[in-house]
Amino acid sequence: MEIKSGDFVLLLSSDNKTFLIRVKEGKVFGTHFGEVSLQDAIGKRYGEVIHSKLGKPFILLEPTLEDRMMKVRRLTQIVYPKDAALILIKTGIQSGMRVIECGTGSGSLTLALASAVAPTGRIYAYDRREDFLENAKRNILETGLSDLVEFKLREVGEGFDEIEVDAVILDLPSPWEGIPSASRAIRGGGRIASLSPTYNQVERTVECLSEEGFVFLETIEVLVREILVRSGKTRPFERMVSHTGFLTFGRKAIRGDVLDEGSKS
Amino acid sequence: MEIKSGDFVLLLSSDNKTFLIRVKEGKVFGTHFGEVSLQDAIGKRYGEVIHSKLGKPFILLEPTLEDRMMKVRRLTQIVYPKDAALILIKTGIQSGMRVIECGTGSGSLTLALASAVAPTGRIYAYDRREDFLENAKRNILETGLSDLVEFKLREVGEGFDEIEVDAVILDLPSPWEGIPSASRAIRGGGRIASLSPTYNQVERTVECLSEEGFVFLETIEVLVREILVRSGKTRPFERMVSHTGFLTFGRKAIRGDVLDEGSKS
Amino acid sequence: MEIKSGDFVLLLSSDNKTFLIRVKEGKVFGTHFGEVSLQDAIGKRYGEVIHSKLGKPFILLEPTLEDRMMKVRRLTQIVYPKDAALILIKTGIQSGMRVIECGTGSGSLTLALASAVAPTGRIYAYDRREDFLENAKRNILETGLSDLVEFKLREVGEGFDEIEVDAVILDLPSPWEGIPSASRAIRGGGRIASLSPTYNQVERTVECLSEEGFVFLETIEVLVREILVRSGKTRPFERMVSHTGFLTFGRKAIRGDVLDEGSKS
Amino acid sequence: MEIKSGDFVLLLSSDNKTFLIRVKEGKVFGTHFGEVSLQDAIGKRYGEVIHSKLGKPFILLEPTLEDRMMKVRRLTQIVYPKDAALILIKTGIQSGMRVIECGTGSGSLTLALASAVAPTGRIYAYDRREDFLENAKRNILETGLSDLVEFKLREVGEGFDEIEVDAVILDLPSPWEGIPSASRAIRGGGRIASLSPTYNQVERTVECLSEEGFVFLETIEVLVREILVRSGKTRPFERMVSHTGFLTFGRKAIRGDVLDEGSKS
């Protein structure tokens, strides 16, 4: 499987810096280790090496989902891969499912959702800002997942067009504004997830989910700690990202009112 | 989409306990809230409620990937959903890929891998213990993902049958024993992941990965902290799982020797 | 320095269990490794060994402040050593200072405070519950620090008797009820600390501190992670205490109104 | 208690920046909010306000132990207050004790130790580097704790002059080089603590402590997470210090060989 014009590569330099870039005849890309001619990548396979004009090696890596998410053009705070990963596994989103995302922003989570439902599912990506949607569309387009995503310009209060979806993901400043609509859109047993940076938002979100008949409510935060592994002197990194947001999950009951909907304990 | 005989349901009681069970005519299941007749679930939809003989309500939820992973029959320590989630996103495993898992154990990670490559990919699940493989097979069978998984009884030193796979996941006491074979099996730019509980294993694993030409090496641990959300008195839970294992990732370079393969920084 | 009747020892068994006990002639203490005669400890030095009637060794250790705190008789949730440690260093409580503690509970923090101001300072320990004060008194008495502590039975709303104290520590369900009194009792530049388990309490506490003219406000939580060190297989413990409480700190400004009192950043 | 020439103050600006500075007649100090005349502080009390030449207010705070530690002149990595706090409480260092510190560095921990043993104890502060000792001396001098500290220029292999000390604190690249000497210097039941950044050092330290007859061994790391408290939008800070070092503790047994010295579990 050879790299051809139009493909994306993740260039890895010898000091572990990466550049996500599209290969094209005649294209030249400037780095701290000199200019790299993308022409050289054509016909190579992933894992092989090309050299800058200064003779510095760059490995041609295949961009992963995480690479794509971290390198989207950002008009907003993005959803980080660690949080997207837990959202996917806890909501059980998988191939073939139909999912609403409300608050698409720069589209990093949209990428993860589209990848998870491929090749036959569908993501309905809502946002109230046209500029955000245009940017997110471009970000998705480059990954080849566009056919799986339908973008919709809409205020959250106006509701969703879909019904019987498998899951709804809310990334909104006021998630409670989207919960009643989400409840109508999700099928019985379907999942909801909401991301919020503050505990105040979480508290009100959980209250609203409970009122709307969602059950098995759970709120978590995900911390990823990096380890600096060197022979004979291995230790955790000295600094870390200690907060991106809280993740709240629930499941749609059709008659949740008959149960006492406490938090999962 | 009605629940029918042979389907699995996750029964949720009013005190947030869950039971993963297969629906069957005439089957009765004992709980702390009295016996539940599974017959009652037939023809209901997910999200609806049935009652035990003591009149206690149980919501019929659809089992998610996480539920399945946590409820596998365990002959070994399992890979937890939080770790599986990060493995999937960091290795970029997705629909249609071919992946080797070495050290299948009870099959919880196998479930996550199979779900990620569905509907057209393939998981090659190796283990040296026949009893583990038999148990893992049963665990996968119940999820309907069996067609995606090929089980292989094999000592790690004997190598893998596949070539040009997209990723290899190692869950071994001595991951370095599997790394040379993994290197031969992975395509250029493909990913490797290894799980280990101790710092010592991680250090030796990273040394071996570096020697075998893997690049962009990274080791992390994933901590999930649960928040107890109650109106007016929200706080983190008082206890948490603080360690399951370290996760190490790398990517296959075809001529990695030309680069200085330090840890990602 | 020989151990004599009336001294306390921390008995350490070979499986790392500890027992805090007072030495006395003729006293016998039952353990999972058989009965230990405390008589045997008299005349020994700390660090030496005595044996149970089953021949099992017990090392005679000197109780530290941490041992004392963890072994107080508990009528309430205690303040943990990790939190007490950060309170001491952040408030700068040291030898000779005068400190008010409001919400003495079982007296574990009182022990730490008294030890820090010894030999010439003074702790004013307030609580509204007579039974708590009696229990705390007994706990302090055994440590020989009683002369440094004055106990006061008092509702928080009734204020404090002292003025110009160096610090006030609040361990109350509604810390804001004690803040105005604390403000009157603390000298200029003196410190305040408050412990609370929930985010909601912290938010209201910080609002109230700011209104009362405290500056340099800071809220933290302290996580202690234990490492299981074994040659060739070292790793973090699998479970940990993930929450005891949030600690909020501030300093008394005499004309704090002239400043914009934001959180420390 | 009025501020006089020669006293130290912590100037707090309205944007929560702090400056630790000595008050002196005629002295002027430059800040981002204009020049501050220290003359103005003389006769004021802590907590009061002075103004820069641009009319900006600065609160005159009393420097705490933590302020002093964070503001020492640094020739080395310093021991952070959070780690010093846990060392003090776990080793039970208190007023009147005699303590050896080996690897004094810039003296931040020395400050904490001296403050803890005041007014009658003694710190024996060893270092092999004369420049470090000179710098540490100056740092201690400014705090008025100099009478409590004796500095000694010495290679770790040459042993300590003191015997029967209450505790030894090691902050060395190779802590095991100091453990045999520490064992000879500590009284029965006395405590040892060691700080190291890597797990490899910790593993060897614990092995050596065990061989030298120390018991009740324990290794921890201390994580302090800051909370950004703002009404209606409270959340953890987005970044944190995730590693400074591991802390290992033990206690001196006189005949520890009769016990199985495992880690505390």
Query: Which of B94-103, C256-265, D49-58 is predicted least confidently?
Result: C256-265
- The two structure tokens encoding residue A92: 């059980």
> Is residue C37 predicted with pLDDT exceeding 70?
yes
Task: Count other C-beta atoms under 10 Å from residue A39's C-beta.
Answer: 15
- How many contacts, defined by CB atoms under 8 Å, are there between B and C? 57
The helix/strand/coil state of B186 is strand
Residue C71 pLDDT grade (very low, low, confident, very high; cuts 50, 70, 90) = very high
Which of A75, A175, A176, A84 lies closest to A133, judged by CA? A75
Which residues of chain B make contact with C233, given a CB cutoff of 8 A? 197-198, 200-201
Of B67, B86, B251, the CB nearest to A61: B251
What does the pLDDT look like over C79-124, one tens digit per residue? 999 999 999 999 999 999 999 999 999 999 999 999 999 999 999 9
Q: Does A240 touch chain D (CB under 8 A)?
A: yes
Q: Does A236 touch chain C (CB under 8 A)?
A: no
B218 neighbors A226 (Cβ within 8 angstroms): yes
Query: Which of A246-260, C39-53, D12-26 is predicted least confidently?
Result: A246-260
Which residues of chain B make contact with C199, given a CB cutoff of 8 A? 234-235
Q: CA triplet B245, B251, B256: central angle to 5 degrees?
A: 130
What does the pLDDT look like over D124-179, one tens digit per residue? 999 999 999 999 999 999 999 999 999 999 999 899 999 999 999 999 999 999 99
> Rounded to an integer, what distance in angstroms lies between the CA atom of residue B33 and that of residue B44?
21
Give the per-residue pLDDT at D264: 41
Of B232, B235, B242, the CB nearest to C237: B242
> Is residue B265 predicted with pLDDT exceeding 80?
no
Least Cα separation, residue B126 to chain A (angstroms): 23
CATH code for D8-63?
Answer: 3.10.330.20
Of D232, D238, D243, the CB nearest to A236: D243
Give the per-residue pLDDT at C1: 76
Give the per-residue pLDDT at D256: 45
C140 neighbors C117 (Cβ within 8 angstroms): no
> Rounded to an integer, what distance in angstroms lies between the CA atom of residue B45 and that of residue B4?
9
Question: Which amino acid, one-letter code, is at D117?
Answer: V
What does the pLDDT look like over A103-116, one tens digit per residue? 999 999 999 999 99
D197 to chain A: nearest residue by CA? A235
A264 to chain B: nearest residue by CA? B16
> Rounded to an integer, what distance in angstroms lies between the CA atom of residue D22 and that of residue D4?
10
What does each C-alpha distance from B23 to A242, B8, B26, B32 come to in angstroms?
43, 6, 9, 19
Domain locations in chain D?
Answer: 8-63, 67-258
Q: If you count them, how many residues does chain C have?
A: 265
C237 to chain B: nearest residue by CA? B243
CATH code for D67-258?
Answer: 3.40.50.150
Of D221, D232, D253, the CB nearest to C47: D253
> Is residue B259 predicted with pLDDT exceeding 80?
no
> Rounded to an integer, what distance in angstroms lies between the CA atom of residue A78 and that of residue D20?
39
Question: Which amino acid, one-letter code, is at A245?
Answer: G
> Rounded to an integer, what distance in angstroms lies between the CA atom of residue C28 and that of residue A167?
65
> Is residue B257 predicted with pLDDT exceeding 80?
no
* ipTM for the assembly: 0.95
Give the per-residue pLDDT at A134: 97
> Is residue A264 predicted with pLDDT exceeding 50?
no
> Is residue D258 predicted with pLDDT exceeding 50?
no
Q: Does C238 touch chain B (CB under 8 A)?
A: yes
Q: Establish whether domains A8-63 and A67-258 are of one fold.
A: no
> Rounded to an integer, what distance in angstroms lies between the CA atom of residue C166 and that of residue A81?
48
Give the pairing of strands D8-12 and D57-61: antiparallel
Of A16, A217, A224, the CB nearest to B216: A16
Q: Which chains touch D (3 or more CB pairs under 8 A)?
A: A, B, C
- How many contacts, defined by CB atoms under 8 Å, are there between A and B? 249
Which residues of chain B make contact with A88, given a CB cutoff of 8 A? 85, 88-89
CB neighbour burial string for D54-64, b if at least 16 within 10 angstroms, e if fewer: eebbbbbbbbb
Q: Do B241 and C239 touch (CB under 8 A)?
A: yes
Q: Does B220 touch chain D (CB under 8 A)?
A: no
Q: Does B199 touch chain D (CB under 8 A)?
A: yes
Q: For chain A, how are helix, strand and coil distributed in percent, rounded to 5?
A: 30, 35, 40
Residue D1 pLDDT grade (very low, low, confident, very high; cuts 50, 70, 90) = confident
- Mean pLDDT computed over A154-165: 96
Least Cα separation, residue B103 to chain D (angstroms): 27
Residue A265 pLDDT grade (very low, low, confident, very high; cuts 50, 70, 90) = very low
Q: CA triplet D238, D244, D246: central angle to 5 degrees?
A: 125
How does the average pLDDT of chain B come out, rounded? 95
Q: Do B243 and C237 touch (CB under 8 A)?
A: yes
Looking at chain D, the whole-number percentage of residues with pLDDT higher than 70 is 96
Q: If you count them, how many residues does chain A have?
A: 265
What is the residue-wise DSSP string for D59-113?
EEEPP-HHHHHHTSPPSSPPPPHHHHHHHHHHHT--TT-EEEEE--TTSHHHHHH
- The two structure tokens encoding residue A164: 């019987």
> Rounded to an integer, what distance in angstroms lies between the CA atom of residue B76 and that of residue D139?
56
Which residues have CB under 8 Å from D53's CB, separation 6+? D34, D35, D36, D37
Which residues of chain B make contact with A203, given a CB cutoff of 8 A? 229, 231-232, 234
Least Cα separation, residue B84 to chain C (angstroms): 17
The residue among B198, B199, B219 with the most chain D CBs within 10 A of its CB, best to mutate, is: B199
Of C47, C95, C189, the CB nearest to D188: C47
Q: Does D199 touch chain B (CB under 8 A)?
A: yes
Give the per-residue pLDDT at B261: 42
What does each C-alpha distance from D86 to C86, C171, C223, D135, D221 come to in angstroms?
8, 20, 11, 25, 10
Give the pairing of strands C28-31 and C18-22: unpaired
What does the pLDDT look like over D168-207, one tens digit per residue? 999 999 999 999 999 999 999 999 999 999 999 999 999 9
Give the per-residue pLDDT at B256: 45
Residue B226 pLDDT grade (very low, low, confident, very high; cuts 50, 70, 90) = very high
- The A residues from 244 to 263 touching D (CB cutoff 8 Å) are 244
Q: Is the pTM of this model over 0.80?
A: yes
> Rounded to an integer, what distance in angstroms lies between the CA atom of residue B55 and that of residue B36?
10
The helix/strand/coil state of A81 is helix
Q: Which chains touch A (3 or more CB pairs under 8 A)?
A: B, C, D
Burial class of C113 by CB neighbour count within 10 A (0 to 12, 13 to 18, 19+): buried
Q: Does A229 touch chain D (CB under 8 A)?
A: no
- The two structure tokens encoding residue A193: 């997830």
Give the per-residue pLDDT at A263: 40
Give the pairing of strands B49-51 and C122-127: unpaired
A238 neighbors D243 (Cβ within 8 angstroms): yes
Which of D246, D265, C236 lies closest to B197, judged by CA? C236
Q: Which chains touch C (3 or more CB pairs under 8 A)?
A: A, B, D
B203 to chain C: nearest residue by CA? C232
What does the pLDDT look like over C226-251, one tens digit per residue? 999 999 999 999 999 999 999 999 99
Cis? peptide before A57, omega within 30° of 0: no
Least Cα separation, residue C245 to chain B (angstroms): 8
Which of A188, A182, A172, A190 lies closest to A211, judged by CA? A182
The residue among B44, B64, B208, B239 with the most chain A CBs within 10 A of its CB, best to mutate, is: B64
Least Cα separation, residue B88 to chain A (angstroms): 8
What does the pLDDT look like over B133-184, one tens digit per residue? 999 999 999 999 999 999 999 999 999 999 999 999 999 999 999 999 999 9
Q: Does D224 touch chain A (CB under 8 A)?
A: no
Q: Do D241 and A241 touch (CB under 8 A)?
A: no
- The two structure tokens encoding residue C129: 């519950």
Which residues of chain B make contact with D203, given a CB cutoff of 8 A? 200
> Is residue A256 predicted with pLDDT exceeding 50?
no
What does the pLDDT look like over C138-174, one tens digit per residue? 999 999 999 999 999 999 999 999 999 999 999 999 9
